[in-house]
Amino acid sequence: MAYDSKDTAAFKGVWVFCEQRGGEIGSISYQLLSEGRKLANDLGAELCGVLLGSGIPEEEIKKLGGYGADK
């Protein structure tokens, strides 16, 4: 099955790619999440914080929800 870029039904929500170094999330990520929350609210959409890496402490990951991330 080929990918059809015209089918926008699959494009849902607002995604914010978060920065982390050495297991610590960068402050810019929290700022972007706050702005993403405003946009998601305006669109009636879900906000997803995307965090890549390994060895990131769970308490760091949970902070993303405090800045508006639904997932």
Per-residue confidence (pLDDT) for residue 17, from 0 to 100: 94
Taking the C-alpha atoms of residue 14 and residue 45, their distance in angstroms, rounded to an integer, is 7
Q: What is the pLDDT of residues 18-69, one digit of tens each?
A: 998 888 888 999 999 999 999 999 999 999 999 888 888 888 888 888 888 8
For residue 42, the model assigns a pLDDT of 94
| Contact (CB, 8 A) for 35 and 68 | no
pLDDT at 33: 94
| Residue 54: predicted pLDDT | 84
